[in-house]
Chain A
Amino acid sequence: MEKRVTFRSAWLPYALLAPQLAITVVFFFWPAFQAVWFSFQLQDAFGLSTQFVWFDNFIALFGERNYWASFRTTAIFSFSVAALSISIALLLAVMADRVVRGALVYKTILIWPYAVAAAVAAVLWSFMFAPSIGIITYVLKGLGVDWNWVLKGDQAMLLVVIASAWKQIPHNFLFFLAGLQSIPKSLIEAAAIDGAGPARRFWSIVVPLLSPVTFFLLVVDIVYAFFETFGVIDATTQGGPAQATQILVYKVYYDGMKAADIGGSSAQSVILMIIVIGLTAIQFRYIERKVHY
């Protein structure tokens, strides 16, 4: 039976799509186009004159040591966020998969962080980790750790990694839980009869069978860490101290808005756009051939 909706009039489908298309054009295509346009221009400090400079902005960018440092920061940051949120989510999903009673409550609680706005989450974490008054700072001091992320770059990095990973755990958790539940129980039982203990079953059966999900989440989490963690960074470290947490997205914002270097900032966002297109392409390609074992 044909379940598809068919339209009589030719224009109705477009009319129905129009609002969505308009939003996409106004908030996505137009700014993207503008960014590309600006990235080829040089403005003076007061925005009075504009000059078309071809690839000068890009060349300048790649010559800048700060930019490469930001690349490194971003790589460390996003891999840490992905690794941390994937491993914790997997651990929680394995535990949730075993729970029979009260499973729904458990799952609901685990999904809450996803509903918390990034900035709110960040503020929450920065309260707990606040240099002098934070509760975790207090505990850490008791353990002999001198905690002060406002001054120490690696601690600031740790803070934004934790806050960002925390936000992403529910998302990963849901995917892992669905993945775990799609593994037939008889596979695990067969392995148990073959003599594998729980740890061995996990590493030799569960992990390989989850690898498609894990790979998918790795890409999604990296994209998340690249682009959606702006709120977390802005609400806590603002890229500091000494640019220790200045990831690429934050640098675009900082250079464009604070340092008013529109051309340079636009060039950076064009590069970011290329990166996200690349990551999305990898993901799509991969989703097309879902099963790879």
Chain B
Amino acid sequence: MAGVAIRDVHKSFGPVKVIQGISMDIADGEFVVMVGPSGCGKSTLLRMVAGLESITSGEIAIGERVVNELEPKDRDIAMVFQNYALYPHMSVYQNMAYGLRIQGRPKAEIEKRVQRAAEILELDKLLKRRPRELSGGQRQRVAMGRAIVREPKVFLFDEPLSNLDAKLRVQMRSELQALHQRLKTTTLYVTHDQVEAMTLAHRMMVMNAGRAEQIGAPLEVYQKPATTFVAAFIGSPPMNLIPGRIAQGGKVLAHDGEISVRLPEPRPALEGRDVLLGVRPEHFETCAQSEALLSPDIDFLELLGSDSLVYGHLGADKQGMRVAARLHISILAKEGRLPLRFSAEHVHLFDPESTRRIED
């Protein structure tokens, strides 16, 4: 087992800069999730750790060893691909044994290890089948089995659950968690699904356009997003970001003074500064008109049963500032103004220029 160190790694495909300086130290046994929108370079970063892409500049180390120049086979890693990449002409058993056979392990040992992995993943009855005779979830398990029989130092997963239906995804997610608790192998996991990231990660890296916007524990990322990008990416619906200004006495005036909220503590250093006021949809609550901090005009509702999503706009202009709220009541008026309030505890402030969080 070993940790992974990524040190100022860059990657260009010709003139296109895909990864623009990413650093992260991953501890031995840690489960790290890289999350970000499509095309942000998650797979590229993972493939550089695997040795499937060259590293343009910077350094990647697995354990103590810098692996920049090592072939994938010499890095002692295993990877699970999004499309599983099972060998279609081999049985499940052969798929799992392939890597061990190449290592030249004795037959008895191969058999024992494959058998054990198959038991862990409940594949023991399917060992003789070909991949095309398996369901999506079973294929996914075989891909996982192929990775774990080799007992590598590091697991790399590239969106392993994205081809499964919603229910199976939830099930496999908890199985993955259990598997990691059992094996405690350092894991790098790529996904664009924030729920997967939040539930699986010890720490997560939120990526955007080839950069790491924030690295931290899931709750920390949720509670203290480092940039407006992270604030909008983690959480659903995304955080509301309303332009405003800090007035005297620690008041935030947003949307041309329509919204006025007093910060928990006065911030004299910030007075007069333009900010983006961030409030998560789930931190709104309905209230009497007299207590309301804002009263958006309702555009449409999504009733989810457990709670309701309300989408509206501020001011008279229909194209104006959009606001989303997640409320724990299910019956609502379909139109009109909805008085809402939020606690100052839940306010996030961002610099509109740099988009960075203004630390509290």
Contacts and interface: CB of A to CB of B under 8 A. Distances in A.
A184 interface: yes
B89 A193 contact: no
B100 to A, nearest CB: 9
A91 interface: no
A69 B342 CA distance: 97
A290 to B, nearest CB: 12
Interface in A158-196: 184, 186-187, 189-196
A204 B94 CA distance: 11
B72 A192 contact: yes
Contact of B102 (A186, A194, A209, A291): A194
B77 A191 contact: no
A272 interface: no
B89 A186 contact: no
A195 B97 CA distance: 12
A293 B102 contact: no
Given A184-B85, A186-B85, A209-B88, A193 B130 contact: no
Nearest to B47: A189
Given A193-B72, A205-B87, A293-B88, A186 B99 contact: no
Contact of B73 (A196, A208, A211): A196
Contacts of B103: 195
Given A186-B81, A293-B130, A192 B87 contact: no
Contacts of B87: 187, 190-191, 205
A195 B52 CA distance: 13
B78 interface: yes
B83 interface: yes
B73 A193 contact: yes
Interface residues of B, number: 24
A141 interface: no
A193 B98 CA distance: 11
A197 interface: yes
B89 A190 contact: no
Nearest to A204: B98
Given A184-B83, A186-B83, A293-B130, A193 B88 contact: no
B102 A193 contact: no
Of A186, A195, A291, the most chain B CB neighbours within 10 A belong to: A195
Contact of B77 (A184, A186, A193, A200): A193
Given A186-B85, A208-B89, A191 B52 contact: no
A189 B83 contact: no
- Please report whether the interface of chain A is mostly helix, strand, loop or mixed according to DSSP: helix
A194 B98 contact: yes
A150 to B, nearest CB: 48
Interface string B64-95: 00000001110001110101011111000000
A13 B81 CA distance: 51
B150 interface: yes
A191 B71 CA distance: 12
Contacts of B146: 190, 194
Contacts of A184: 83, 85
Contacts of B72: 189, 192-193
Nearest to A188: B85
A196 B50 CA distance: 14
B62 to A, nearest CB: 13
A196 B73 CA distance: 7
Contacts of B86: 190
Given A293-B88, A293-B130, A190 B73 contact: no
- Select the residue from A192, A193, A293 with max chain B CB neighbours within 10 A: A193
Contacts of A205: 87
Contact of A187 (B50, B71, B85, B102): B85
Nearest to A186: B85
B99 A189 contact: no
B69 to A, nearest CB: 15
Contact of A189 (B52, B88, B130, B150): B52
A224 B207 CA distance: 57
A57 B103 CA distance: 63
A209 to B, nearest CB: 6
Interface in A260-279: none
Contacts of A186: 81, 83, 85
Interface in A209-236: 209, 211
Given A189-B72, A192-B51, A193-B78, 16 more contacts: A184-B85, A186-B81, A186-B85, A189-B52, A190-B85, A191-B87, A191-B98, A193-B50, A193-B51, A193-B52, A193-B72, A193-B79, A194-B99, A195-B73, A196-B73, A291-B132
Interface of A: 184, 186-187, 189-197, 200, 204-205, 208-209, 211, 291, 293
Interface of B: 50-52, 71-73, 77-79, 81, 83, 85-89, 98-99, 102-103, 130, 132, 146, 150
Across chains A and B, which 10 residue pairs bring their CB atoms closest together, nearest first?
A194-B99, A293-B89, A186-B85, A195-B73, A190-B85, A195-B102, A208-B89, A193-B72, A186-B81, A192-B72
